[in-house]
Amino acid sequence: MNERTLYILGNGFDLHFHLPTKTSDYEKYLSRQFIDGVDALEYYANLGVNWSSFEEKLSGLDLDELAMEIVEAPDYLDDHESVREDTIYNVQKITSELLEAKDNALMDMLKNAEEKIKELSLAEAKWGKFLWPKQSDVILTFNYTDTVERLYGFSGEILHIHGNYTDGEKLVFGYKDIDETNKLFYNRLNDNRYRYYEKFVAEIRNDTSISDEQKEEWKNNVYDSMQNEQEDYYINSQYEEIVSFYERNRKEFQIEKLKKWLMKLHLSSNKIINTIAVVGHSMGDVDAEYFNVIEKILNPSEWKIFYYSQEECDVIGKRYSFRDKITFIDSEKFPW
């Protein structure tokens, strides 16, 4: 039976061609988006997010800080429901802008990367077209770009596991696991309302336009509301919007999609996959489940991992149970 190789590509593959897909490139485009007059890079930084590992750091979003920044006590004394609901709409507006800024920055970065790929594809260099991959090989790429198709003329079996920008597919972009601190935030929706009652009372106390008698009456009304209501619709709704925002930042892992693709490869060809080559991917914890699924379904004889640093090899060797199958090869020896 004939053999073929499965190539797994990560962002390091694109970076080899100097495509603008570094975290610093993403940050540049994010800084061009604005949230409530503040550039989005700074806004996210104020919420404890740095982009050193791209979107995975979104799990550590400081929801308490975000709540203190945007959650407001409504004017409980106003007779107009729409005035009180404006506090909810404001949280919806800001969290929607944060999501849009994150996604727009990604799209802008990829648009620039695709323009660079087009320039490279028009160059005279052959980019190793005749060395790899064979059209009978298969490729799993974690990149949103179509670099290998455009530069190497590959038209064989390929899966963009997190979506293909050029084809207009939905792009999977977000964190994997909920941060432990934010799990606690979920359980405090009702508790947090009290601080906003107190905040509203303080505003009444400091308002010089009303008499002391009015202040006392209004404060009593607010405290009565606090004691009589088990929940505060306006405060809780704002907190629920923040929780919704956080959950919409979570990555929808494509494990079932990968399993179906691998089974299709396994059953639809007389060519077995005995070798898996990993290029430009750190095989970090966030994607470990993908690699374990590949090992389980294909059970290859060998994993060839083209590495950039010895430290990377040490970490990978400790992380995976199939470490005895791994051969580490300097990335400079890959047939670029």
Average pLDDT over residues 2-24: 94
Q: Residue 214 above 90 pLDDT?
A: no
Q: What are the structure tokens assigned to 81, written together?
A: 């429901």
Q: Residue 197 above 70 pLDDT?
A: no
Query: Does some domain include residue 213?
Result: no
Residue range of the domain that includes 262: 3-190+231-333
Q: Residue 199 above 70 pLDDT?
A: no
pLDDT at position 21, please?
A: 97
pLDDT at position 132, please?
A: 82
Q: What is the pLDDT of residues 38-90, one digit of tens each?
A: 999 999 999 999 888 888 889 999 998 999 999 988 877 777 888 889 999 99
The whole-chain average pLDDT of the chain stands at 87
Angle at Cα 161 formed by Cα 99 and Cα 31, nearest 5°?
30
Query: Does some domain include residue 222?
Result: no
Fill in the amino acid letter for 144: Y
Query: Does some domain include residue 65?
Result: yes
Query: Does some domain include residue 120?
Result: yes
Percent with pLDDT over 70 in the chain: 89
Q: What are the structure tokens assigned to 260, written together?
A: 């179906």
Specify the number of domains making up the chain: 1
pLDDT at position 216, please?
A: 80
- Tell me if the pTM is above 0.85: no
Structure-model confidence comparison of residues 254 and 121, the more confident one: 254
Q: Residue 307 above 70 pLDDT?
A: yes
Q: Residue 229 above 80 pLDDT?
A: no
Query: Does some domain include residue 206?
Result: no
Query: Does some domain include residue 218?
Result: no
pLDDT at position 50, please?
A: 85
Query: Does some domain include residue 315?
Result: yes
Fill in the amino acid letter for 197: Y
pLDDT at position 196, please?
A: 55
pLDDT at position 178, please?
A: 86
Which candidate, 179, 189, 177, places its Cα nearest to that of 241?
Answer: 189
pLDDT at position 92, please?
A: 96
Q: Residue 305 above 80 pLDDT?
A: yes
pLDDT at position 319, please?
A: 93
Q: Residue 127 above 60 pLDDT?
A: no
pLDDT at position 61, please?
A: 93
